[in-house]
């Protein structure tokens, strides 16, 4: 077994835990649908986070050509999946005991938005460093649109962590989904073309 295959097991486990938490949260929402208060912004961030977990798993494959795996490089690569997992934990409230009134997902979201967007937002600079560590050619191949979109996204995450404005959070939830879908198309092309 080569080092990439060996190390990718732990990365995959952490990402799978994040996906499990998101899917478990959605399952709990569906089971308690008559006792909970849904909020579309929290639901959209559930979708956004799930897409990021899938994308993180997808782009981790780009490390397959790394010949040497020092311990600190592996620790660094483990940061992104860990941040996404923690964001998934914060996004959903604890499960309601049977017989209790359900959660208000909007209230939970806005009560925890600072932690959620701080943790999730750290994914952006970590991803930029991750891209740089894959090599200068790889970084340049992504073009200026990568740096510009990352800078915009990081600023939007920082504002979301600070502001309680529901209007801003509505805008950002929609923007993040569109951004993710567009960048996913770019990432798919680049991964397929071997970049």
For residue range 69-126, what is the model confidence (pLDDT) as tens digits?
A: 999 999 999 999 999 999 999 998 876 554 455 678 889 899 999 999 999 999 999 9
Total domain count for the chain? 1
What pLDDT is recorded for position 184?
Answer: 73
Distance of CA 33 to the CA centre of its chain: 25
What pLDDT is recorded for position 188?
Answer: 55
Residue 152 has pLDDT above 80, yes or no: yes
Angle among Cα 77, 26, 11 to the nearest 5 degrees reads 15
Look at the alpha carbons of 11, 193, 120, 67 in this order and tell me if their dihedral is positive or negative: positive
Q: Which residues pair with 117 in a beta bridge?
A: none
Question: What are the φ/ψ torsions at residue 2 (nearest 5 degrees)?
Answer: -80, 160
Containing structural domain, residue 128: 3-94+101-192
- Is-contact 102 151, C-beta < 8 A? no
Longest dimension (CA), the chain: 58
Look at the alpha carbons of 130, 136, 138, 140 in this order and tell me if their dihedral is positive or negative: positive
Mean pLDDT: which of 88-97, 119-128, 133-142, 143-152 is highest?
A: 119-128
Q: How confident is the model at residue 24 (pLDDT cuts 50, 70, 90)?
A: very high
What pLDDT is recorded for position 94?
Answer: 77
């Amino acid at each position: 077994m080569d080092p990439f295959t060996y190390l990718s097991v732990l990365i995959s486990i952490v990402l799978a835990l994040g996906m499990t938490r998101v899917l478990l949260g959605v399952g709990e929402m569906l089971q308690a649908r008559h006792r909970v208060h849904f909020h579309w912004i929290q639901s959209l961030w559930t979708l956004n986070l799930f897409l990021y977990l899938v994308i993180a798993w997808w782009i981790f494959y780009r490390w397959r050509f790394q010949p040497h795996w020092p311990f600190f490089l592996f620790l660094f690569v483990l940061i992104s999946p860990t941040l996404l997992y923690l964001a998934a934990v914060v996004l959903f409230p604890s499960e309601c005991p049977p017989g209790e009134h359900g959660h208000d997902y909007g209230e939970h979201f806005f009560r925890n938005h600072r932690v959620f967007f701080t943790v999730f937002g750290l994914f952006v600079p970590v991803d930029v460093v991750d891209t740089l560590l894959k090599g200068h050619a790889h970084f340049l191949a992504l073009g200026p649109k990568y740096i510009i979109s990352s800078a915009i996204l990081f600023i939007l995450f920082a504002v979301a962590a600070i502001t309680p404005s529901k209007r801003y959070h509505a805008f950002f939830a929609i923007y993040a989904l569109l951004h993710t879908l567009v960048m996913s198309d770019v990432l798919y092309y680049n991964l397929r073309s071997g970049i």
